[in-house]
Structure 1
Amino acid sequence: MPTTGRLVGAICFAALGLYLGYLAQTFFEEGRIPTYWWPLCGLAGAWSGWVVVGKRAGRGYSPAIGNGLTGTATLIFWILFIMSFVDMIEKSFRRSYDDPLEALVDVFQLGIEHAVRLGQMDVIVTALVGGVLAGIVTEFFGRRFA
């Protein structure tokens, strides 16, 4: 059911996802930013804000901090997972795998590689601080206009 908390959560976390995407784009190889990077960051942020954080809005400001951090972790997880899955699909079209299990295992190895490459200190600090602020803003609007 749509609520103000869900809407504000989706907007805040979509903005956070896009900003994290902007910060992380410098850590890709020269000119190798995937074409789906910006939609992925924005949609993953909107989804985690709507489903994870917005659903829990209205429980107080202390839980809002935890909700914001949980939403940020969900945002980062889905970005890394979808990026790794798309890379695995591209590699499978080039016949890089002998069987499906090898491809499935490679999704998680690719995710770890992406996390190490994109997980720089400025991105991590921005994600944590932005997640807390987005959680508090979502809580404020979720309580005020419930």
Structure 2
Amino acid sequence: MPTAARLTAALCLMVVAFLVSGMIIENGEEGKNYGIFTYVNMFLGVACGWVIMGRRAGRGWVGAINNGLTGVVALVFWGLFVQGVNEMFRLAMRHRFDGPFEALIAIFEIGVEYSQQLVAPEILWTLGIGALVAGLATEEAQRRWR
């Protein structure tokens, strides 16, 4: 059921995904075509905010911070997984794998490679501050608009 907390969480994580995606593109390989990378991550932000954070709102201020951290960690996990699957399919269409199990393992290997880009300090700070703001804003929306 739609609530103000779910909407607030979805919008907050969408903004975090937008900001972090832009930072990844800036820090990434020059000349690489990222396609709809940002839009996919923004959609994942909306989904994680709506489903994960919005449902857990209303558990107090400490719970709000934990909720924000959980939402951002879920966003990062699903972002790495979806982008890894996308890259695996791109490589599979070029016949880079010998079998289906090698392709499945490659999803996680690609995700680990992509996660190394997230270790930049500005990205970590954005994720941390975004988690705090998203959690506290979601809690405030839950308290204000029941």
Normalised TM-score (structure 1) = 0.96
Q: 1:79 Cα deviation (Å)?
A: 1.1
Q: 1:23 Cα deviation (Å)?
A: 1.5
Alignment-derived partner of residue 20 in structure 1: 20
Counterpart amino acid of residue 14 in structure 2: A
Task: Name stretches of at least 5 consecutive residues in structure 1 with no aligned partner.
Answer: none
Alignment-derived partner of residue 86 in structure 2: 86
Residues 27 and 118 of structure 1 are in contact (CA less than 8 Å); yes or no, is this contact kept in structure 2? Answer: no
Q: 1:101 Cα deviation (Å)?
A: 0.3
Q: 1:95 Cα deviation (Å)?
A: 0.5
Q: Percent identity?
A: 35
Q: 1:118 Cα deviation (Å)?
A: 3.4
The SS at the match of 2:95 is: coil
Normalised TM-score (structure 2) = 0.96
Runs of 4+ in 1 over 6 A off after TM superposition: none
Q: 1:30 Cα deviation (Å)?
A: 0.8
Alignment-derived partner of residue 140 in structure 1: 140
Q: How big is each residue's C-alpha offset from its partner over 1:48-76, in whole Å with a ceiling of 9 and x where there is no partner?
A: 11011111111111100000000000111
Q: How many residues align?
A: 146
Q: How big is each residue's C-alpha offset from its partner over 1:83-126, in whole Å with a ceiling of 9 and x where there is no partner?
A: 11010001000101111000000100000000012331110111
Task: Name stretches of at least 5 consecutive residues in structure 2 with no aligned partner.
Answer: none
Q: 1:28 Cα deviation (Å)?
A: 1.6
**CA-based RMSD:** 1.0
Q: 1:22 Cα deviation (Å)?
A: 1.4
More divergent stretch after superposition (91-100 vs 19-28): 19-28
Residues 13 and 48 of structure 2 are in contact (CA less than 8 Å); yes or no, is this contact kept in structure 1? Answer: yes
Counterpart amino acid of residue 28 in structure 1: G
Q: For the structure 1 residues 81 and 43, does the alpha-carbon distance in structure 2 shift closer, same or farther, using more than 3 Å as the test?
A: same
Q: 1:138 Cα deviation (Å)?
A: 0.7
Counterpart amino acid of residue 96 in structure 2: S
The SS at the match of 2:59 is: coil
Residues 65 and 132 of structure 2 are in contact (CA less than 8 Å); yes or no, is this contact kept in structure 1? Answer: yes
Matched, 1:75 2:86: no
Q: 1:38 Cα deviation (Å)?
A: 1.4
Q: 1:31 Cα deviation (Å)?
A: 2.2
Q: For the structure 1 residues 95 and 69, does the alpha-carbon distance in structure 2 shift closer, same or farther, using more than 3 Å as the test?
A: same
